[in-house]
Structures are given as C-alpha cells and as structure tokens.
Amino acid sequence: MSAHCQLTGSKPGFGNNISHSHRRTSRRFDPNVQRKRYWLPGEGRYVRLTLSARAIKTVDSIGIEAAVARIRARGGRV
C-alpha cells in the first residue's frame, strides 16, 4: 500500500537517522495511513479510501459526501 492520503494528500517525508557517533543515514517518515470503508448513500455503494488518521477525523466532522467531493475536486478517483 502506498503511504499516500487521498483526502489530505500527505505523503512520506524524508530525513536522516543520526547515530550516537553522529553518522547520518537516510530514513522515511510515513504518515499514519489506514484503509477505511464508508457507505456512500448518494451512490448507494461502499467506497474504500486510503486515509491518514487526521483525514479520518476530518471525514467524521464534514461527512463522507463532502469528503468524496473534495477528493474528486483534487482529481482523485473514488
């Protein structure tokens, strides 16, 4: 699964691990991405979305219909 949120667009960030001896090695900061299934009443079907934890809270507050509209406005497929 790609570490990419469909609603917020958050993607992995990159940085360095720094050891005790101060050597730097590359690392990746992944967003907390979950696969979640929602009932979409306007279309009479379920949709499975890949959302970050913050986006799940956003869907809870604005509703699934508005969230799907935002995803489609960004050019995403639902």
The model's pLDDT over 25-62, given as tens digits with 9 standing for 90+, comes to 999 999 999 999 999 999 999 999 999 999 999 999 99
Separation between Cα atoms, residue 77 and residue 22, nearest integer Å? 44
CA distances from 11 to 5, 37, 44, 69 (A): 7, 20, 30, 20
| pTM metric for this prediction | 0.86
Helix boundaries (H) for the chain: 53-62, 64-73
Q: What is the pLDDT, as a whole number, of residue 2?
A: 81
- Note whether 63 and 42 are within 8 A (CB): no
